[in-house]
Chains A and B, each alone.
Chain A
Amino acid sequence: MSLQELSMIFFFAFLIFLAIVAYLSSKQKVAGVSADVEYYLGGHSTPTVVLAFSYVTSSISAACFMGDPGIMSTVGWPYYWVVIAIVPGLIIPAVLLMPKMRKQAEKLGSLTIPEYLGDRYNSPALRLIIAGVISVFYIFPLVAQFKGAAVLLESFTGISFNMGLAIMTVVIIFYVIVGGLRSVAWTDFVQGLPMLVISIGLLLVSLNAVGGFSGLEEKLSQIDPNMLRVVQDEAPDAQMSLSGVLGNFVFWCVIFISQPYLCSRFLAIPNVKRRTIGIFLITSLILSIIYNSFYIAGLTGRVLFPNVQADYLTVTMAINLLPTAVAAFMMVGIFAAMMSTATSVLLVIGQAIGRDFYSKTINKNASPEKEVLVTRIVIVVVGLICFAFNYVNPPEFLSVVLYLGLSGIGSCIGVPLFAAIISKKSTKEGAIVSSIVGPIAYMIFNYGVGFNFWFAGLLAIVVAAACMIGISFIINKKRKSIVVETAEA
C-alpha cells in the first residue's frame, strides 16, 4: 500500500475513534452539577491524569513537531534553551498557581479565567478587557492551526487544501461542542498517545542514523560550528543570545502558562488535595520532557537531509527513515497535535464570549443551559471564521501571527494573574492598566524597537509589573489616607 493510501486510512480511522471517545466522554455527566460547570470544567470529575495529558498536549502544537525542530535545524543547539525552559515553565509556576486559583475560583464561583480575574479584583471591566483580548488575539493561533492541518493533509493524503480545511473545521467544531472540556480533555488524551510514540520513535531512529550524540556533534561541526555554541552572539537576527535565553525563561514561566487555554485546566481538577495536584504535575513533567526532547530531531534531520526546507524536515525524516505505515501514523500524530491545541483554544474563545460577554454582561438572567447554547453557537461561528480566513487568503507568515496571539494574551493576563495569587495588595486599577500596557509594550519592543521575540516579552512583563506595583501602591496609599481622615473626622 502507498503512503497516501495508508495515511488516508489511518486518518479517517483516527477521526472515527476520536468521535467515539468524544461521544462517550460527553455521556459521563455528573449528577447535581449545573450545565455550565459541566461544560466548562467537566464537572470537576475528569481524571487527573487525563487533565495532565490535556494540559501538555495543548501546550505543544504543530510547532513542536514541525516548526521548532525546523528552527533547531538552522540555529543549532542554542535553540534547545526553549526545551530547557519550557519544562520548568509548565511545572514550577503551576505549583504556585494551581491550588490557589482552584480554591479561589470555586469560592468566587468563577468558571473561566477572565471571570476569575474579574471576580478576584472585583472589576467587571477587567473581565471584559481580558475576554475581549482572548476573543481577538486567539483567532491568530487558531487560523494557523487550521492552515497547518490542511497543508499536512494535502501533503500526506492528497486531499486538496480546501477540502482538508473543511474537514478540519467540521471535526474540531464537533469535538468541542459535543462535550465541552471533558470531551476536549479525553480527545487530547487519546491524541497524546500517537504523539508520544512518534516523539520517541523518530528521535531514536534518527539519532542512531547519525551515530549517536557524539556522531551528531561531529557532523554538525562540519556543517556549521556555530550550531555547537551554547548561546549565540547578540545580533538583530539572533534567536538565543543571552538576552534571548533570559527572555525565553520569562516567556514560558509567565507568558505561556498564563494562556487561558492552559491554566483553565487548573480550575478543572477534581479537588485541591496535594496528592491530586502532585499527580497532575508529575504526569505533566514526564510528558513535557518526552515531547519536547523531539526538538533534537531538528539537528539529526539537518545532518541527514541538509537540503530540505526547515518546516518539512521532520515529515521528510518520517517518510525516509520510518516504515511506510509508521510514517502515516506520524501524520496522524502531527494532526493530533494541531487538533489538541485548536480544540482547547476554540473552547476558550467560546467561553469568553458565551459566559464573560453574554451571560455576565448582556443577559445576566440567562440560564446555564442558554449560556452553554450561546457558547456552542459562538464555537461554530468562530470555527467558520477561521475556515473563511484560510479559504479566502491563507496567511503566509504563520509563526508571526501565532506568536503575536500568544504574546499578546500572555502579556495582558500574566501580571494580573500572578499578582492575584502573590500579592494581596494588588488592585483592580493596577490590574486593568497592566493588562492594557503589557500587549502594547510587547508590540513596541518587538516590532518598534526590534528586540528579539523572547526579550521583548521579558521587557513587556517588566513594564506591566511596574505598572501594577506603582499604581497599586498609589491607590493603596490614597485609600489608607482616606480611611485615616475619615476616622479622624
Chain B
Amino acid sequence: METWQIMLGFQALTACISLGVVLNFMFSKDTLDNEELEKQEADKLSVETSQHLTY
C-alpha cells in the first residue's frame, strides 16, 4: 500500500467518525433540556451553603 493511500485513508476515517458523531447528535431523540444546568446550580448552591455554614 502506498503512503498517500494510508494517509488519505486515515483522513477519510477521522472525517467519517466526525460525521458519524455529528449525525448521531443531530438525530438523537433525547431533548436538549435544562435539567443538567438546574442540577448544577443546585449543586453549586449546596456547596455555597456549606461554605456559609463554616463561617
Contact = CB atoms under 8 A, between A and B. Distances in A.
A285 interface: yes
A81 B6 CA distance: 11
Given A77-B4, A217-B3, A122 B50 contact: no
Given A84-B11, A285-B22, A424-B39, A229 B50 contact: no
Interface residues of A, number: 40
Interface stretch (A9-17, A96-104, A155-163, A384-392): A96-104
Given A103-B37, A285-B18, A278 B25 contact: yes
Contacts, number: 95
B2 A486 contact: no
A200 interface: no
A483 B53 contact: yes
A479 interface: yes
B34 to A, nearest CB: 7
Nearest to A102: B32
Contacts of A103: 32, 34, 37
Contacts of A486: 50, 53-54
A77 B50 contact: no
A275 B26 contact: yes
Interface stretch (A32-40, A86-94, A441-449): A86-94
A87 B32 contact: no
A296 to B, nearest CB: 8
Contacts of A99: 32
Interface in A264-319: 272-275, 277-278, 281-282, 285, 289, 293
A482 B54 contact: yes
B21 A95 contact: yes
Interface string A119-153: 00010000000000000000000000000000000
Nearest to B36: A100
A274 B27 CA distance: 8
A425 to B, nearest CB: 8
A59 to B, nearest CB: 14
Interface in A59-94: 77, 80-81, 83-85, 87-88, 91-92
B7 A84 contact: yes
Contact of A278 (B10, B22, B53, B54): B22
Contacts of B4: 77, 213-214, 216-217
B32 A274 contact: yes
Contacts of B2: 213-214, 217
A424 B27 CA distance: 26
Contacts of B7: 77, 80, 84, 230
From DSSP, what is the main secondary structure of chain B's interface residues? helix
A424 B43 contact: yes
Interface string B4-40: 1111101100110111011101111000101011011
Contacts of B36: 100
B37 A88 contact: no
A477 to B, nearest CB: 12
A277 B53 contact: no
A289 B15 contact: yes
A42 B53 CA distance: 42
B21 A92 contact: yes
Contacts of B8: 213
Interface in A139-197: none
Contacts of A91: 18, 21-22
A87 B18 contact: yes
Which of A88, A214, A228, A482 has the most chain B CB atoms closer than 10 A to its own CB?
A88
A282 B10 CA distance: 19
A228 B32 contact: no
B25 A95 contact: yes
Which of B11, B17, B34, B53 has the most chain A CB atoms closer than 10 A to its own CB?
B11
B36 to A, nearest CB: 7
B27 to A, nearest CB: 8
Interface in A220-276: 228-230, 272-275
Nearest to B30: A274
A104 B34 CA distance: 9
A274 B25 contact: yes
Contacts of B22: 91, 95, 278, 281-282, 285
B4 to A, nearest CB: 4
Given A285-B18, A289-B15, 8 more contacts: A81-B10, A91-B18, A107-B34, A214-B4, A217-B3, A274-B32, A277-B25, A285-B22
24 contacts: A81-B10, A84-B14, A87-B18, A88-B18, A91-B21, A91-B22, A92-B18, A95-B25, A99-B32, A104-B37, A104-B40, A107-B34, A217-B2, A217-B3, A230-B7, A274-B26, A274-B27, A281-B22, A281-B25, A285-B15, A285-B19, A293-B11, A424-B43, A483-B53
Interface of A: 77, 80-81, 83-85, 87-88, 91-92, 95, 99-100, 103-104, 107, 122, 213-214, 216-217, 228-230, 272-275, 277-278, 281-282, 285, 289, 293, 424, 479, 482-483, 486
